[in-house]
Amino acid sequence: MTAPSSQSWTLAEIAARLGGDVHGDPQTRISRVATLAGAGAGDISFLANRKYKSQLQGCQAAAVILAPDAADGFAGARIVTTNPYAYYARVATLLYPARAGFSGVHASAVSASELPASVAVGPHVVIGRNVQLGENVVIHANTVIGDGVTIGADSIIYPNVTVYAGCTLGARVIIHSGTVIGADGFGFAPDGRTWVKIPQIGAVTIGDDVEIGANTTIDRGALEDTVIGEGAKIDNLVQVAHNCQIGAYSVLAGCTGIAGSVTLGEHCIVGGAGMISGHVTLAPGTTISGGSLVMKSINQAGLYTSVFPLDSHDEWVRNAAHIRRLSKLAERVAELEKKLKTIENE
């Protein structure tokens, strides 16, 4: 069950802040979000997936967030809006605002830069020289901020994050634990039997309102910066290699791997464990299904999939064997077509 919030809002107050139309008692007070099946007094729930519409009849929520065409499905108080899922997310933010849990600069933190009075810095944080922090930045324990880093206002850096020298983070950026921003890109030049390291002299630039999940790595550029556009959302365990350009409001799901110099247009989506080869460009609005491998550029937006369908092991082995023979089969078909043309022309 969802924990009660320290906040409490009436439906009228919520609608005044977030919009939407209130049906029923506008003074209904909300202190918690919950599922349709688990909601009770003081809870607000939502219907975004129509397969759960039948749960509205027995729902005990104090109020439900509904789309206009589902507004009559619940007899109690409700807020009607065109996007119930996004509205629910905003209500949850009102009820459960992010809190640092501490204030000021901890005595064990070390900073070589002057910090605004409004920032909160946790234990054992290390902040380098010439670092610029905006107002109300929160940096949790054991994080390292390198020389010359800029972090915009209202950003939150969770524990054990490392931001290498020279990187820039915009306002309201959230970086979760264990993430590394600005490590060297994987750049080595072959020289006979050895590899010569290529200095990675670019940095990482992250736009406003970006959120990056836990244990994700974003490498600095070799010459120019790796860029994460504003509003992008990156999940846990994602690798973004050097010189990538991730478009604004794009989404990368967990375990995605993006090789160097990849360009994603705005509003691209890459499903979990998607792999994108180096120097590939995806058109704005492109969606890649989870587990797919992208080896060439995509110039037209749409949904693309390269996953081999799941099957029983024996059937999969038989199909894989057929696939291996496709090249020879294509050659045989081409040869037969040539012979058929010769016969037709005689």
List beta partners, residue 64. Answer: 45, 78
> In angstroms, how far is the first alpha carbon of the chain from the final one?
81
Say if strands 21-23 and 77-80 run parallel, antiparallel, or are unpaired. Answer: antiparallel
Report the alpha-carbon distance of residue 270 to residue 311 in Å, rounded.
Answer: 24
Report the alpha-carbon distance of residue 269 to residue 249 in Å, rounded.
Answer: 9
Buried b (16+ CB within 10 A) or exposed e, 199-211: ebebbbbbbbbbe
Phi and psi, residue 154, nearest 5°: 65, 20
Whole-angstrom CA distances from 74 to 9, 46, 90, 259 are 20, 11, 21, 49
| 140 is a catalytic site residue | no
Other Cβ atoms closer than 10 A to 293: 13
Report the alpha-carbon distance of residue 213 to residue 201 in Å, rounded.
Answer: 25
Catalytic residue among 106, 242, 279, 313: 242
H or E segment to which residue 309 belongs: none
Q: Are 232 and 215 in contact (CB under 8 A)?
A: no
Whole-angstrom CA distances from 97 to 13, 43, 138, 167, 213 are 16, 17, 14, 28, 18
Whole-angstrom CA distances from 16 to 21, 26, 63, 68, 98 are 10, 11, 16, 18, 21
Q: Are 176 and 140 in contact (CB under 8 A)?
A: no
Residue 309, CA atoms < 13 Å, CB-side half-sphere: 3
Closest to 173 in 3D by CA, of 127, 216, 115, 129: 216
Give catalytic residue positions. Answer: 242
